[in-house]
Structure 1
Amino acid sequence: MTSGERTAAAETIRAFLDGKGSPHDWDEFISIRKKDLNHQLVRDFCADSDLLYPSGDDRRWCGTEGEVRLRELAALLDSRAPFNAIRSFMEEERHRAADEPTVMDATGPGKLGYATITLPVCGICVVFLSALVPPLARIGVQAGSAVVYLSVPFAAAVAVLSWGKNRDRAWTAVGGLATAGFFAWQLLANPIHP
C-alpha cells in the first residue's frame, strides 16, 4: 500500500465518519476490491465494521465503538506505522469482536454465502440418491425437494440483506439463488415419483 493510498484511505474514513464525504466515496471505498493485499485488508475491515460493531440506529453505519476503531485505523494509516502494526490492530479487533455473537461472518462470502449454494446442491443429491434406494425413496425425495424449495427464499434473503454491506456474500448468494432456482424449476418440471 503506497503512502498516497494510505493517506487517501485515512481521509476517506475520516470524511465518512465526520459526514463530510460523499456517500458514493464510502460505497466505492468499501465495495471495490483492491489489487494490493494490504489495501484490501483495510477495505475489508472498514466494510465489516458495521458487523463487528453493530449500531441500533439504522441511520448510522456502525456503533460508537466502531467509529472510535475506524478513527484509530485512520490515525495508524496517517502515522506511517509499519503495515504489520496496522494488520495486528485489525486482527486484534476482529478477534475481540468474534468473542461477541454476530449474525454474519466478518469477511468474504462466509458461511451464509456458501450455504446458499451448498443447501440446494445437497437437496438435489438427496433427491436423486434416495430415488435409487426404494425403502428411502418417498421420504428422501420429499425431504430433498423441501430443502431445494426452501433454499430459494433463503438465498434471496441473504443476497438482499448482504447487498449494501458485503458484496462478496451478496454475489455468492445470487449464485446460490440461481442454483436453487434451477433445481426447483427442474423438480417442478420433471417430478420424481418414487
Structure 2
Amino acid sequence: MPLLLALPLALLVFGAIMVLLMPLAVWQRVRGGSARRQARPWRVAVDVWATLLSTGLFAVFVAIAGFWWPGAWSYAALGWLAGLLVGGLGHVLTRFEAGPQVLHYTPNVWLVLALTVMIGVRVIAGVVQGWQASVNGVPWPDSGWLSHAGLLAMAALLLGHAGMYAWLLRRRMVRHLRYRGYDRSPR
C-alpha cells in the first residue's frame, strides 16, 4: 500500500522539479543557440544532409499521418514554407566574422528566443490539452494550431528553418573559402 502512495508523490515531485528547472533550460537553450560558432566545412555539410534526410523522413510520416489527421499535408507544407522564410531571415540576421581561414557566425538571439518560446508554448498547450482530454474527456481539435496537424506544422517550420539556414550557411562558407584562396569546400 505505501508503494502505491509513493508513486503519485514521486510523479508530483518530478513534475515540480521539471517546472522549476524550465526557466533555466530555456535560458541555457537561448544562450547556447545564440553563441558564436566557427563554420567548419564538415559540420555544415553534415547539417545540410541531416536536415535533408530529416525532411524526407518527415514527409513519409506526414503521408502516413494524413490518413488519420485531417489537413496534415497542408499544415506541414505551410509550416515548411514558413520555416524556409524564417531560415532565410535567420541567415540575414546572423552576424558573420570572416578571418583569414575561418568564418565565425553568431545567430540572432531574438530569433533563437522566438523559436524557443514557440516550442515552449506548444509543449505547454499540448500538456494542458492532454490533461483535458484524459481527465475531462475534451476531444482534441481537428483543425487549428492545437490540432495534430498544427503540431506537424510546427515541426515542419523547425525543419524548414534548419534546412534553409544550413544551406545558406554552406553557401556563405564556400564563398568565403574560395575568396580566401582555400578550395576545401564540402562537396
- Structure 1 length normalisation: TM-score? 0.31
**Higher relative contact order (CA closer than 8 Å, sequence separation 6+):** 2
Q: Flag the structure with higher strand content.
A: 2
- Structure 2 length normalisation: TM-score? 0.32
